[in-house]
């Protein structure tokens, strides 16, 4: 079932879990948000559902807890959102603030994509497909974000950091995702037309029938 998400004036999605990350700061003055960057992540690599991602984004990751964590010691990163394998949506940074997700990056000649973007991590790897629940939740989140930032481009991390990053990877179905967004736009247009017709009908005075 499609859920309509709402972003409040503080840049937080209402009704979901918010785990504040210290790894964020203010955006440059006057910098409009016009980019959504989709990532993929799993910690430990190839494993899902554990505390690793949350611990990384909140600076609580123990480098000794797993052999692959040693290289992450001292790393300070975050993302605005995480979508778990079961579709759970978690927010770490308000949309109004700059999350540290893209690193060295460039989009349409503009460097420092963190300044003007929203980062969305989807739990997964380049080896396995993403889940139906994740696509559904990602489409819902994207609709909410596009409602607030209608001029935003939608790209992968690999698009803004080519050669350095490969996520969300070959198993991310861009065609399916964009089709879900397009279908929702068509549904919204149809609903708007229907509401307009109802409004016009309600405002149109009814003619009294003459009795014969």
Active-site residue list: 121
* SS3 label, residue 24: strand
| CA 178 – CA 90 distance, rounded (Å) | 22
Residue owning tokens 């052999």: 67
| Bridge pairing between strands 117-123 and 35-41 | parallel
| CA 137 – CA 16 distance, rounded (Å) | 12
Phi first, then psi: what are they for 12, rounded to 5°? -110, 140
Contact (Cβ atoms closer than 8 angstroms) between residue 149 and residue 33: yes
């Amino acid at each position: 079932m499609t859920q309509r998400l709402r972003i409040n004036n503080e840049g937080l999605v209402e009704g979901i879990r918010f785990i504040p990350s210290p790894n964020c700061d203010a955006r440059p003055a006057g910098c409009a948000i016009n980019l959504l960057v989709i990532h993929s992540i799993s910690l430990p690599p190839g494993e899902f559902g554990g505390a690793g991602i949350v611990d990384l984004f909140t600076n609580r990751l123990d480098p000794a807890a797993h052999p692959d964590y040693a290289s992450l010691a001292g790393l300070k990163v975050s993302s605005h959102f995480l979508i778990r394998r079961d579709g759970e949506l978690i927010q770490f940074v308000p949309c109004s603030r700059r999350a540290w997700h893209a690193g060295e990056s460039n989009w349409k000649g503009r460097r420092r994509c963190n300044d003007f973007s929203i980062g969305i991590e989807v739990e997964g790897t380049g080896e396995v497909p993403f889940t139906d629940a994740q696509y559904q939740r990602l489409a819902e989140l994207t609709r909410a974000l596009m409602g607030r930032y209608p001029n935003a481009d939608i790209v992968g991390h690999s698009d803004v950091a080519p050669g350095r990053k490969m996520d969300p990877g070959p198993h991310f179905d861009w065609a399916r995702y964009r089709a879900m967004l397009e279908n929702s736009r068509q549904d919204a247009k149809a609903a708007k037309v229907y509401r307009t017709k109802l409004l016009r009908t309600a405002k149109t005075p009814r003619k009294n029938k003459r009795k014969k």
